A and B are shown apart, each in its own frame.
Chain A
Amino acid sequence: MKSVDMDIRTRTEQELQPFIEMAETLGYSAILSGCTTDAITTRESPVQVYRRHNLKSKKLSELKAQVSKIHGKYALVSAPLLEVDTANWVAEDSRVHLLTVDITGKNILRKTTAGLCASHGTALEVPIASLLDANGLNRSRIIKAIRDCVTTATRANMKVVLSSGANTPVRMRSPVALFHIGMLLGLEENQAKEAILSTPSAILKENLKRLDGTQLRSGLEIIRNGEENESE
């Protein structure tokens, strides 16, 4: 699997086609959107579309209820970076895969939360859409908020993922462009490469295995009788 854009924001499934064409031009192998009907949509185009869900609530109890309802229906689930209790719960819950950075800087990523995320495999998601909207002093504030989170995450060995967060096809950026934006946001060269090339596809692969029912959790996989011999 090549690069994956983990955050495409469309309102309807019909709007997806231009995004798929743009993703193909830019060299992506898969995109994730909240507007597809199935978790996995197999298409003839080289770009596959998967379904993601963004949890939207400020209350921990509501987030928990949402996660229970949607479990097993989405290829990826993300939650916003909120207060400590919520962030720590997200970090420890294996049903939520991404913690999306708060660009306002009101909710910061704490060392302890980043440590929990690192040990449970939850990644920090950085959508770059807000950087395109803002300029001048506003953009510097956003960069500061993202850099703080990214630094805390990388120090704790938490995985970081860069996504476009695009709501129109032309707001998508190529993997090489994202790599350079990643370095602007405080990632080292190898970390930026991982954030675009290996981490998103690894997270997606693992989640697809879970959806298949072959993988129960990281490191615990169901292997059918004789499957190994057949493949040999």
Chain B
Amino acid sequence: VSFLDWAILGATLLFIVGYGTWRTRGSRDLNAYLLGNRQAQWWSIGLSIIATQASAITFLSVPGQAYDDGMRFIQFYFGLPLAMVLIAAVAVPIFHRLQVFTAYEYLESRFDRPTRVLAASLFLVQRGLGNGLSLYAPALVLSAILGWNISLTVWLIGGLMIGYTMVGGTRAVAVTQQWQVAVIFTGMVVAGYLLVHYLPANVGFGDALRVAGHQGKLNLVDFHFDPKDRYNFWSGMTGGLFLALAYFGTDQSQVQRYLAGRSIRESRLGLLFNGLVKVPMQFGILLIGVLLFVFYQFNAPPLTFNRPVREQLATSTQYAPALRELEQRHATIAAAKQAANANLVNALHADDPAQLANAEARLQVTNAATQGLRTDLQALLKQGAPTAEAKDTDYIFLSFVLRYMPHGFIGLLIAMVLSAAMSSSAAGLNALASTTVVDIYCLARPKDDQQHYVAVSRWATVLWGVLGIGFALFAARLENLIQAVNILGSLFYGPILGIFVVAFFMPLIRGKAVFWAAILGQLAVLLLFWQTDIAYLWYNIIGCFLVMLLAAIGQKLARLSR
């Protein structure tokens, strides 16, 4: 990382944070601090929703996922546009007419106070932990690749984010998110362009896609139904739909973005904008991962992208010889793979079936050799670095950026990852503070003045920020970062979504029935997670339906006992 990279990184972050703080200082009441006086326009809401969901994990894990597993992860987002339509049609008008600050506030008007506090508490636990993970994930990868101190990285991202969110509240989050999205999209386009540019002279973009396709990486849609398979069309349209409904319809970090809308129209358009943009955006991020895969078909990748783990083995007298042997094998296989891919491209250009079959056969041999090498590497890691993460896919994108990108662009792409980290965590922090104050504190002290509530909101922002930093610093290493956040979300989202579905669509059910249904439903979900190996996406559906069913039974029993 050169001086130019540091200058671009520093200037980008300082401009965004400084501008956001300066533009939005001095809110005097809760409506201004938590909802920006409800003045947001549709494009600002849309960008905010996109930036809140696009965390640093998105840009670190998703390209790695495509590199390893192909593009089938896109199916996870197929339910999202449908969820946007449902939320825009059903939830937005209700939230707007009641002029609520949080989604949970609506539950008191529909049911009762205990249900509101229960839903708010479930959100606080889930989002409090999730926000810590969103800080930890980029810090872990940046520290491993750039050699930064992990604690300092967590404090840097967390400190900047706490600063502007505390000063400017929701408007600061929205104003900074607009610039953060600009940095994110610029970074993506630059990365995609340079990846194609770095391919060998005779390999164009179309050839890159064909090379990826021949190795099963363009597996965008799979219509076969398999409940054990995490990503196929059916799990995306059902599990993905329920996850999106829960996340965008009941998670305050998203609900707060469209509650800040000037009118029902602006909020709806903001959500629909997200519904139109999200799938192509994820396609773009996954395509970067596929292009990375193709790039490393013609250039030798390292044995593992997780540099500190390699260093750990290389400096061990016991394991260094085994590592050297694996690296020699790896170099031989990589050279054979490059030759096989060059043959494949020539065969595709010549349109010669015999040459194509020959190239494919050679590729199959090298892929089998790579698989054997990976197994041996994992066995070595288990012995030599047992606490290290065996999967290195989260490190692939930034490793490429640092090794191959020109100076200046490296600074821009690190700024992209940090911007994404701050944009999603700041929205989470803002929502945690809002829920703490509106759904917990104001209920306990209803008679204080607005300035007092704004001051408490600022302190709540700092408190949740410091708690998130604390959680990030102590977080254990997890197999795959994006999955850890999604699993955590799915365990709590189902029951919360169930409460809201009952509120919207089951008018005969009252507070007591739904309150106990939510508690029992949540316990059942945790028990199932502990005792079974159901894929995590299904917990959104299971939790939601359990709450609906138990609430209906509870209401019936209450009526019979009367």
A-B interaction = no
Interface residues in chain B, defined as those with a beta carbon under 8 Å from any beta carbon in chain A: none
A interface residue numbers (CB < 8 A to B): none
